[in-house]
Amino acid sequence: MRYAVTALLAVAGLAAAAVALERSQPAWYAKLRYPLSYEHVIVGHAENYELDAALVAAVIYRESKFDADAESSSGAIGLMQLLPSTAEGIALNTGGSRFVVRDLYDPEINVRYGSFYLRRLLRKYDDTRLALAAYNAGQANVDEWLQADEGIAFPETRAYVDDVLELRDVYARAYDEELELGNG
């Protein structure tokens, strides 16, 4: 009986420590839980498109967890989960002439197109939450919500936006130097 109580207290103590660690998220823990890859690509395109590199990293983590070969059931591809039709339009708008779907698996091209698209959405909506909602649910939905004077109507899109904004803060704290944010 005494061993059972001791074991139970040990488990409770470990659980409390895990909860405290999750809440405080020191940089070393955040780096373990939220990895960063392709930082040079992210920083380069964030600078080029005047974006917060931590926001780009957060979108990538939420969309693909940094898996360049990720594919969604809706047909989105790569790190920033771009639909081929969206990417083809971006390619044409950025001077491309020979769009090939398999190029979306290339981190450099995918992050370039995704950053271009995110910048375009931020310019259009002049609001980070709405831009992220459009990135997730599509511009037509966001335009409809704005016209109806509604907030973000889809619960999954509200959760997506909240996740990305929280991840942006995590990436900014944990990867200040790697993302060249100058917060340190």
Cα gap 63→136, rounded to integer Å: 9
- 82 beta partners: 77
Helix-, strand-, coil-residue percentages of the chain, each rounded to 5: 70, 0, 30
What totals of helices (H) and strands (E) does the chain contain, helices first?
A: 9, 0
Is 39 an active-site residue? Answer: no
Active-site residue identified among 63, 71, 150, 180: 63
Cα gap 133→118, rounded to integer Å: 11
Active site positions, annotated: 63
